[in-house]
Amino acid sequence: MSLLFTVQVPNRPVEHLETVVGGPRYARLRATAAEFRRRLGGRRIWNVNSTAVGGGVAEMLQALVGYVRDLDIPIEWTVIGGDAEFFAITKRLHNRIHGSTGDAGPLGAAEAGHYTEVLAANAVELLRQVSSGDLVLLHDPQTAGLAAPLAAAGATVVWRCHIGVDWDDEITHGAWQFLRPYLAAARGYVFSRSRYVPSWVPERSTSIIPPSIDPFSPKNQELDRQTVRGILTTIGVLDGHAPDRANRFVRGDGTVGEVVRGASVVAESLPGPADPVVVQVSRWDRLKDMSGVLRGFADHVAPAGDGYLMLVGPAVADVSDDPEGAAVYAECVAQWRELPPGVRARTLLVNLPLNDIDENAAMVNAVQRNAAVIAQKSMAEGFGLTVAEGMWKGRPVVASAVGGIQDQIVDGTGILLHDSRDLGGFGAAVRRLLDDPDAANRMGRAAHEHVRQSFVGDLHLLRYAELFGDLLAER
């Protein structure tokens, strides 16, 4: 049985971006792509990560790979495989690079041996496909051990780290020391923020490339009010009946899709169409602090006025590279059961199915567009692109001032929480926006424009073209 899985991504019409970014930015993208295609000279670009669904990296690759293909540049996306022990080790690395001990398990010689063994088996398969001279972009700790065998075979390897924190301590140091030997063979390193770069990474080999959204993806495309209501009633998080034929959206390949699956919902009652809803969408990950949002809402938002809370994550069984998700979700359910009855009746825990990636994204889109306030009360974030996605939809966001969230929310576009553990401060910020819809709407409009200027995919592609162009010139 093959360890590797090739993700089939359809072309995304790149000309659609012009309607969002304007003529000059679009012309620059086309011209840069033409020059890069010439310099690539028949080589291919490979993206390698650990999951095709259930996270921000996979969602970005769906969009970026599709646009690159439409620009007639050869590009592939491959997902590695591994056993439960491998993903427990890489989740440990993920947590510790974020400054959290996670499961407090070891990262010693035995773990390094197993990590190496699993990636060596993946490398054997991958090297049957990657040719000498190809450009390979490895994503996150799960893939670092592929750098050396790929480089030895003549590929130009870049390691892209989507996670990090703004400090260094014994916890982060241990994770980086585990990964450092595996990354020596990389020709380039990409981080989302300059403060995430470890001191041992050569500055001359480092690029800072923030993530981006795709305005036309099923998660971010425009949905009218009737469609939002239709999708939410279909999945079972809004009271009432779905309007006829109002559950449709445009898939990534341009065809029409329908939301037909229901979500797994823990709730005693559902909000109606006119009820204000506070939403946090994220993985069931302790660093996302879903339990803190639940406590903050119960203690500091619900007692002071109306409104519902909706905590929304992916179906935990469908996220293969996150072994902690089921445990975190179970803890939230137990916490929900202990809430006072009146608060519990205004709180929903929602698992969205991942059977169909585009359908899942349309569900998230509708959930965010229905929100009065979007929260992202993370304890740590590599970037937290859910924030930009909420801002794109014109919604005010209350989020922790951690990681890349600080780069997304600027004055007037949202509320930054400078102490993510201050539940009273979180509740006061949310309550203020719920009680002043006009101010919330002004903030949402400013947020949308800021994302358009700073976090749309054309800028992301241009930065990668510069990085890979420099590496090709060195060769």
Q: Which residue has the tokens 């899942």?
A: 360
In terms of pTM, does the model score above 0.85? yes
Res. 475 pLDDT band, cuts 50 70 90: confident
Q: What is the dihedral of CA 390, 392, 395, 396, to 10 degrees?
A: 80
Q: What are the extents of the domains in the chain?
A: 5-212+456-474, 225-454
Q: What pLDDT was estimated at residue 319? A: 64
Lowest mean pLDDT among 24-33, 46-55, 199-208: 46-55
Q: In what order do the strands lie in the sheet with 264-266?
A: 264-266, 347-352, 308-314, 277-281, 373-376, 397-400, 415-417
Q: Tell me the pLDDT tens digit for each residue of 96-143.
A: 999 999 899 999 999 999 999 999 999 999 999 999 999 999 999 999
Half-sphere exposure of 20 (CA within 13 A, CB side): 24
Residue 449 · residue 22 · CB < 8 Å: no
Whether 5-212+456-474 and 225-454 share one fold: the answer is yes
Q: What pLDDT was estimated at residue 320? A: 57
> Does the domain at residues 5-212+456-474 carry the CATH identifier 3.40.50.2000?
yes
The alpha-helical segments, DSSP class H, found in 192-241 are 225-235
The candidate with the shortest Cα–Cα distance to 427, out of 307, 304, 301, 277, is: 301
To the nearest 10 degrees (0 to 180), the angle between helices 385-392 and 437-454 is 120
Burial of residue 194, with CB atoms counted within 10 A of its CB: 0-12 exposed, 13-18 middle, 19 or more buried: exposed
Q: What pLDDT was estimated at residue 323? A: 72
Q: Which CATH superfamily is domain 225-454 in?
A: Glycogen Phosphorylase B; (3.40.50.2000)
Average pLDDT over residues 452-462: 97
